Amino acid sequence: MNSTAYLIRFKREKRIFTFIVEKLFLFCAFVSVLSVALITFFMFYSGLPGLVEIGFIEFVFGTDWSPVYADGGFGILPMILGSIYATFGAIALGVPIGLYTAVMLSRLAPSWLVSILRPAVELMAGIPSVVYGFFGLMIIVPFIQKTFNLPMGQSLLSAICILSFMILPTVITISSNAISSVPKEYTEASLALGATKMQTIFKVELPAAKSGILSGIILGIGRAIGETMAVIMVAGNIPFMPKGIFIIFRTLTGN
């Protein structure tokens, strides 16, 4: 009788505990969504009077940004294009390097090398943005200036290079974990059918891990398009229309 009562009490307490935990998680999710919604509402509400006065078309597609003057323009198209060009340039340069590095860490490198490189890659993710920016300002910008004989090394190319470095830890870590999580049966079946190790990696394992790899790329895009400090230091921070990779520009986040 006592054991039955204890079991009933235990089940009741378990249901109560589960109910409380579920509601707590629901509350946390609600707070997260509400926070984003409030930030979005605040930004649109605060900017709506100016947006109405300027005009949406002029604001988004205008090419002149000079708000300090009485008759200045408020066009943000150069900053929008600058953010897009810098982000996709960094993705085009950084994703192949990151993906091949992930393949090496998860499938090709010996364990002693992985034990050295993996902590180094993870350490890169913890470096502050201003350190990347300072590195770019002291190393990449002078290198580009001397190599291409430019009056200034701060340019779209400098921003692409520094953003490529910054997205590498995200792409490498997530892609490596995705490749490592591919079931061994896939690899063994491919090798048993006569495929080489490299064919197995690129024809079987990478397609099987594409969802995780794509997640890493998307997070890398978020890191690149949202970066501010490092890009300001290497891009010149002048709202010119980015018509070439050697043009000084400004990103939307920097502006």
Q: Tokens 């378990």 identify what position?
A: 14
Secondary structure in 3-state letters for the chain: CHHHHHHHHHHHHHHHHHHHHHHHHHHHHHHHHHHHHHHHHHHHHHHHHHHHHHCHHHHHHCCCECCCCCCCCECCHHHHHHHHHHHHHHHHHHHHHHHHHHHHHHHHCCHHHHHHHHHHHHHHHCCCHHHHHHHHHHHHHHHHHHHCCCCCCCCHHHHHHHHHHHHHHHHHHHHHHHHHCCCHHHHHHHHHCCCCHHHHHHHHHHHHCHHHHHHHHHHHHHHHHCCCHHHHHHHECCCCCCCCCCCCECCCCCC
Within 8 A by CB and 6+ apart from 13, the residues are none
Q: What local confidence, expressed as pLDDT, does residue 78 receive?
A: 94
Share of the chain above pLDDT 90, in %: 73
CA distances from 238 to 78, 84, 176 (A): 10, 16, 38
Task: Supply the pTM of this predicted model.
Answer: 0.83
Q: What is the pLDDT, as a whole number, of residue 72? A: 77
Whole-angstrom Cα distance, residue 88 to residue 156?
11
Confidence (pLDDT) at 29: 94
Predicted pLDDT at 1: 52
Contact between 224 and 217 (Cβ < 8 Å)? no
Q: What is the pLDDT along the chain (255 residues), one digit of tens a residue?
A: 567 777 778 888 888 889 999 999 999 999 999 999 999 999 989 988 888 888 889 989 998 888 877 677 889 999 999 999 999 999 999 999 999 999 999 998 899 999 999 999 989 988 999 999 999 999 999 999 999 999 999 999 999 999 999 999 999 999 999 999 999 999 999 999 999 999 999 999 999 999 999 999 999 999 999 999 999 999 999 999 999 999 999 999 988
CA atoms lying within 13 Å on the CB side of residue 159: 33
How many CA atoms are closer than 13 Å to the CA of 22, on its beta-carbon side? 6
Check: CB of residue 213 under 8 Å from CB of residue 99: yes
Residue found under tokens 């992930």: 102
Rounded distance, CA 147 to CA 161, Å?
14
Instruction: Give me the count of residues in the chain.
Output: 255
Q: Kindly report, residue by residue over 122-160, the tens digit of the pLDDT.
A: 899 889 999 999 999 999 999 999 999 999 999 999 999
